[in-house]
Amino acid sequence: MTHPDGTPTPSGEHLATTVEQGRFCFARCTCGWRGPARRARSLARTDAENHAKG
């Protein structure tokens, strides 16, 4: 896996970010996980933080 800037991630590291798609925002991780679509960016950020914590 790689970070969004293209650098490799250490094995097992989760780098979750948020992505906007139309009116919705969702969390996405370098491990392949994707959170539910949210209208509130704050909820998508919370999804990303919770996923990264494990």
- Residues 14-54 pLDDT 10s: 899 999 999 999 999 999 999 999 999 999 999 999 998 88
Closest CA to 44 of 33, 22, 28, 23: 28
CB half-sphere exposure, 7, CA atoms < 13 A: 4
- Asked whether residue 10 carries a pLDDT value surpassing 80, the answer given is no
pLDDT at 40: 97
* Amino acid (one-letter) located at 40: A
Distant-in-sequence, close-in-space partners of 50: CB < 8 Å, separation ≥ 6: none
Task: Please classify residue 47 by burial: count the beta carbons closer than 10 Å to its beta carbon, then call 0-12 exposed, 13-18 middle and 19+ buried.
Answer: buried
Where is pLDDT greater, at 12 or 43?
43
